[in-house]
Amino acid sequence: MNPLASQFENALNSLPGEPDRYAIEVVNLILRMAQEHAVSDVHLLPQPGDKLDMSWRIDGVLAPVCSLTKLTKNIVSRLKVLAHLLTYRSDVPQEGRIQGADDGIDMRISTFPTLHGEKAVIRLFVAPKEFHYLEDLGLANDILTGLHSMLNKTSGVVVIAGPAGTGKTTTLYASLRTILRDAPQPRSVCTLEDPVEALIPGIAQTQVKRDTELTYQRGLASLMRQDPDVIMVGEIRDHETAQTVFQASLTGQLVLTSFHAGSAAEALSRLSDMGIEPYVIRSGLSGILAQQLLRRCCSCVTDSGTSSDCPQCHGTQFDGRMVLAELLTPDFPGLTEALLQRAPAQDFAQLAANSGMRTLRQAANTAVEQGLTTELEVFRVLGPA
């Protein structure tokens, strides 16, 4: 059993057994330990009988922790109470938010009906203070310089691309804070987000909702009449939002957004597939930063002293993660032709690499050479070369 799991079970076994307090105590324990150990997601999976399998995602990897075997329905109900969900409905998916205490972390809970009962997943928004500004993220110097100059412009679209859970929102927030800090004159900054994950003083942040009057696309159309200088649109999910984002940049706004894609080239080719005209991409797009997170080798590995007692990594050999990034600027030879032909992602990747873009794969190889991470970890995250 991994050391974290046994630590949890010990704590669980020493909880007072009074039935009416039990679920409250278990939930408190789960939330407290999850925060202490920088867990990003807690999964509670119902099994036949009164059983709830719990696993934790840490540094992107899901690990089993324990099976809860007492009053499991009450445990899920307790979570639903905290998130103001309907406790008497267990036949529909529900979503809600648990507000963190003073210095606590905000959490989002979603429930989903399964054959054996309600499955619950708690997402913890870890917004570590050390990732406040762009220069805190650990980006390579050339990428940092490129990004800074894009954010200093008064127009253009800056896209942060990456798969889910690769820190895109952290980069967006760090960008906004950097803009506010570095602007020679005050800039009017607005956001449309789903969900709002962190509050930034001095910015008008708005939560959008699907299937309502306030979607990304409608919100953005209205925001344009609010005289903004900088707009952050949480995510481009569809053609309409993509279109509105690029229109905004062409009328003189700086727009920051994120996009679900494995690489900068893939993001570019998908934007083109979404029907954004080649000339709009060429004149509207400032750049695409694609990022991935790799687990970083624990210092016990470098000192060749790995053991399950290591207080840093609990024997996993990894301690925290490092960001891996590539920055594509749409100014390389052959781009217009490739856009006109709706070329596949690998063509854009080749063209960008030919003009000197350092790819995610190259950055990963360098990290392996420097002993910061392992080949297996690169394989896990980027797949085969």
Q: How far is the C-alpha of 284 from the C-alpha of 158, rounded, in Å?
A: 9
Q: Segment contacting Zn ion (CB under 5 A): 92-100, 152-160, 242-250, 311-319? A: 311-319
Sign of CA dihedral 190, 285, 126, 133: negative
* Strands 107-114 vs 94-98: parallel, antiparallel or unpaired: antiparallel
Sign of CA dihedral 267, 270, 272, 275: negative
The minimum distance between CB 296 and Zn ion, in angstroms, equals 11
The minimum distance between CB 317 and Zn ion, in angstroms, equals 6
Q: Counting contacts by CB under 5 A, is residue 58 touching Zn ion?
A: no
Q: How far is the C-alpha of 28 from the C-alpha of 122, rounded, in Å?
A: 13
Position among 54, 158, 267, 313 found at the interface with Zn ion (CB under 5 A): 313
Give the nearer residue to Zn ion in terms of CB position, either 243 or 373.
Answer: 373
The minimum distance between CB 364 and Zn ion, in angstroms, equals 21
The minimum distance between CB 218 and Zn ion, in angstroms, equals 49
Sign of CA dihedral 175, 190, 166, 352: negative
The minimum distance between CB 310 and Zn ion, in angstroms, equals 3
Pick the closest to residue 356 from 134, 143, 151 (CA basis): 143
The minimum distance between CB 252 and Zn ion, in angstroms, equals 51
Give the nearer residue to Zn ion in terms of CB position, either 95 or 309.
Answer: 309
In contact, 328 and 290? CB cutoff 8 Å: yes
Give the nearer residue to Zn ion in terms of CB position, either 170 or 316.
Answer: 316
Q: Segment contacting Zn ion (CB under 5 A): 26-34, 54-62, 225-233, 313-321? A: 313-321
Give the nearer residue to Zn ion in terms of CB position, either 128 or 305.
Answer: 305
Query: Residue 71 region, left (φ>0) first, then alpha (ψ -120 to 50), else beta?
Result: left
Give the nearer residue to Zn ion in terms of CB position, either 256 or 294.
Answer: 294
3-state secondary structure at position 14: coil
Burial of 142 (0-12, 13-18, 19+ CB in 10 A): exposed
In the chain the beta strands, taken as DSSP E runs, fall at 39-47, 51-58, 61-68, 94-98, 107-114, 117-124, 156-162, 189-193, 204-207, 230-236, 254-260, 285-297, 318-328
The minimum distance between CB 294 and Zn ion, in angstroms, equals 16
Contacts with Zn ion: how many residues (CB under 5 A)?
5
Q: Counting contacts by CB under 5 A, is residue 189 touching Zn ion?
A: no
Give the nearer residue to Zn ion in terms of CB position, either 265 or 301.
Answer: 301
Provide the H-helix boundaries in 123-202.
141-152, 168-182
- Would you state the torsion angle of the CA atoms of residues 261, 248, 172, 93, taken in this order, to the nearest 10 degrees? -70
| Site pattern 267..306 for Zn ion (x: CB under 5 A) | -------------------------------x-x------
Give the nearer residue to Zn ion in terms of CB position, either 289 or 301.
Answer: 301
Q: Counting contacts by CB under 5 A, is residue 310 touching Zn ion?
A: yes
Q: Segment contacting Zn ion (CB under 5 A): 108-116, 218-226, 312-320, 369-377? A: 312-320
- Would you state the torsion angle of the CA atoms of residues 171, 173, 177, 182, taken in this order, to the nearest 10 degrees? 40
Q: Kindly report the backbone phi and psi dihedral angles of residue 129, in degrees, each rounded to the nearest multiple of 5, phi listed first.
A: -65, -25
Give the nearer residue to Zn ion in terms of CB position, either 3 or 163.
Answer: 3
Instruction: Report the amino acid identity of residue 111.
Output: T
The minimum distance between CB 59 and Zn ion, in angstroms, equals 13
3-state secondary structure at position 291: strand
Give the nearer residue to Zn ion in terms of CB position, either 138 or 315.
Answer: 315
The minimum distance between CB 306 and Zn ion, in angstroms, equals 6
Tokens representing 328 are 């594509």
Give the nearer residue to Zn ion in terms of CB position, either 80 or 314.
Answer: 314
The minimum distance between CB 297 and Zn ion, in angstroms, equals 9
Position among 206, 312, 329, 355 found at the interface with Zn ion (CB under 5 A): 312
What residues make contact with Zn ion under the rule CB under 5 A?
Answer: 298, 300, 310, 312-313
